[in-house]
């Protein structure tokens, strides 16, 4: 059974439908910007953390004149052809100050039976690797070795836990965490599996250079330095010790550049969030002020009919809560509809790494968005509440005559 108070509340909301729709729209805009902006900031933060994990090397040695391609590899996970002789590793292995080094071999992105998109194929040495390992998020389903694979987060496996590339099946022993780059569609194999991959690809009509097939070529060497060692000093030693022309990249410098650009985007997002909240709150205050001026007679009549000031205050608070919740639901729905289906596309155009927020992180942002929406409505409702507390009903009724 609906009480007199609830009856008044329902009729009041229905009677002021146009005004309430406007208020709900304002709250929806606030909710949309708050939730969408917070998700954007979270994506940037997660992307930066991921980059820090992925760029686990102090120095990256690559063939000469491949710097731009290698930077693209580091930042976007692209796969391109570039190779040099493996003796480069031998020539720098014993340089003082090097703590660890590991090799990688890249094949250009190739079609595979497992995926509709192309798959980046990478050869690595699990005994020395410190680039791939930090991304492993599952317990091993076997020991990595020949005919075994480590796959990115978006690569689908068969029901029996295998991946098929160039007609041959490989057991998947690890799956990597999401990186937000094309590493998510990459497959990692041990170096001794690479000749087999090339041979299978050739049987499918794909041509390779002789330098790719001889087993003595690699694409890059990642180096981790001992504490306190200056990377530029090691770079000079590398150039001095190698007969092959090489370029040297500093992943930390690339990460700093990415971090700076990410920081600028995050700062802009924070500013927009604050600005939108202030504008919406100001409009809400004005709207509630004007509305409360026109409701003096209504408040006075309700007081004469027997409603206490406390009951009137409860009515205003309930109205505000309903408006805030309706706006939050609309804004939250639009945020989810925008960020999740189109987040990767936006990240690609804005050139930042997109990593899907975790469920708990997303829920927390929606809870904070709900809090911001309700708080905004409550602050705005303070104006009519103050008017009710100061209301002289008989004077208000005479003013309306």
In 147-251, beta strands by DSSP E: 148-151, 162-165, 168-175, 186-190, 217-218, 220-225, 246-249
- The pLDDT score that the predictor gives to residue 154 is 79
Q: What percent of the chain has pLDDT over 70?
A: 66
- The pLDDT score that the predictor gives to residue 400 is 47
Whole-number CA gyration radius for the chain: 31
Which region among 51-65, 309-323, 366-380 has the lowest average model confidence (pLDDT)?
51-65
Measured distance CA(38)–CA(33) in Å, rounded: 8
- The pLDDT score that the predictor gives to residue 354 is 66
Phi-psi region of 156 (alpha: psi -120 to 50; beta: other; left: phi over 0): beta
Band (pLDDT 50/70/90 cuts) for residue 239 is confident
- The pLDDT score that the predictor gives to residue 307 is 65
Secondary structure (3-state) at 6: helix
Which region among 47-61, 144-158, 221-235 has the lowest average model confidence (pLDDT)?
47-61
C-alpha count within 13 angstroms, C-beta hemisphere, residue 135: 28
Q: Residues 31-44: what's their mean pLDDT?
A: 84
| Domains of the chain, residue spans | 4-50+257-400, 59-249
Higher local confidence (pLDDT), 85 or 342: 85
Alpha-carbon dihedral 118, 124, 126, 131, rounded to 10 degrees: -80
Higher local confidence (pLDDT), 270 or 136: 270
Q: Residues 256-272: what's their mean pLDDT?
A: 73
Tell me how long the chain is.
Answer: 401
> pLDDT for 386-401, tens place per residue?
766 665 555 544 554 4
Secondary structure (3-state) at 101: strand
- The pLDDT score that the predictor gives to residue 109 is 57
Q: Is the pLDDT of residue 44 over 70?
A: yes
Measured distance CA(2)–CA(10) in Å, rounded: 10
Q: Residues 17-29: what's their mean pLDDT?
A: 81
Measured distance CA(278)–CA(200) in Å, rounded: 62
Nearest C-alpha neighbor of 183 from the set 103, 80, 73, 83: 73
Measured distance CA(194)–CA(105) in Å, rounded: 8
Measured distance CA(84)–CA(81) in Å, rounded: 10
Q: Is the pLDDT of residue 359 over 80?
A: yes
> pLDDT for 157-189, tens place per residue?
888 888 888 888 888 888 887 766 666 778 889
Average pLDDT score over the chain: 76
Place of tokens 């060497």: 221
Band (pLDDT 50/70/90 cuts) for residue 254 is low
Nearest C-alpha neighbor of 78 from the set 182, 162, 227, 171: 182
Which region among 109-113, 133-137, 367-371, 378-382 has the lowest average model confidence (pLDDT)?
109-113
Band (pLDDT 50/70/90 cuts) for residue 350 is low
Secondary structure (3-state) at 63: strand
> pLDDT for 47-65, tens place per residue?
666 666 556 678 888 888 7
Which region among 178-192, 266-280, 293-307, 369-383 has the lowest average model confidence (pLDDT)?
293-307
- The pLDDT score that the predictor gives to residue 1 is 39
Report in angstroms the alpha-carbon separations of 43 from 51, 55, 178.
Answer: 12, 18, 12
Nearest C-alpha neighbor of 339 from the set 322, 324, 361: 361
Q: Is the pLDDT of residue 116 over 50?
A: no
Q: Residues 269-279: what's their mean pLDDT?
A: 83
């Amino acid at each position: 059974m609906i009480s007199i108070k609830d009856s008044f509340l329902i009729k009041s909301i229905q009677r002021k439908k146009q005004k309430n729709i406007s208020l709900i729209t304002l709250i929806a805009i606030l909710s949309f910007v708050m939730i969408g902006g917070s998700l954007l900031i979270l994506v940037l933060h997660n992307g930066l953390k991921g980059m820090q994990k992925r760029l686990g090397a102090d120095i990256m040695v690559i063939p000469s004149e491949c710097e731009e391609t290698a930077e693209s590899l580091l930042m976007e996970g692209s796969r391109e052809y570039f190779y040099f002789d493996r003796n480069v590793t031998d020539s720098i292995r014993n340089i003082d100050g090097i703590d660890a080094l590991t090799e990688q071999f890249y094949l250009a992105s190739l079609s595979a039976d497992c995926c509709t998109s192309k798959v980046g194929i990478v050869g690595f040495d699990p005994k020395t690797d410190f680039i791939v390992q930090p991304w492993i998020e599952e317990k091993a389903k076997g020991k990595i070795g020949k005919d075994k694979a480590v796959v990115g987060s978006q690569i689908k496996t068969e029901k029996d836990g295998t991946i098929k590339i160039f007609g041959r099946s490989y057991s998947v022993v690890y799956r990597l965490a999401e990186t937000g780059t094309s590493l998510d569609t990459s497959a990692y194999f041990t170096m001794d599996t690479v000749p087999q991959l090339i041979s299978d690809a050739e049987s499918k009509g794909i041509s390779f250079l002789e330098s790719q097939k001889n087993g003595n070529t690699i694409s890059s060497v990642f180096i981790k330095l001992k504490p306190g060692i200056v990377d530029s000093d090691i770079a000079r030693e590398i150039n001095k010790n190698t007969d092959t022309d090489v370029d040297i990249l500093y992943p930390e410098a690339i990460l700093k550049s990415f971090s700076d650009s990410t920081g600028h985007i995050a700062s802009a997002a924070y500013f927009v969030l604050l600005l939108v909240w202030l504008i919406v709150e100001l409009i809400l205050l004005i709207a509630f002020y004007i509305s409360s001026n026109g409701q003096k007679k209504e408040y006075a009549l309700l007081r004469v009919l027997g409603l206490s000031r406390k009951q009137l205050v409860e009515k205003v608070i309930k109205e505000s809560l309903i408006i805030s919740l309706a706006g939050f639901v609309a804004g939250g729905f639009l945020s989810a509809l925008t960020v999740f289906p189109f987040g990767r596309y936006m990240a690609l155009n804005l050139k930042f790494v997109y990593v899907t927020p975790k469920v708990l992180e997303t829920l927390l942002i929606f809870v904070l968005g709900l809090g911001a929406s309700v708080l905004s409505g409550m602050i705005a409702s303070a104006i009519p509440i103050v008017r009710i507390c100061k209301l002289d009903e008989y004077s208000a009724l005479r003013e309306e005559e």
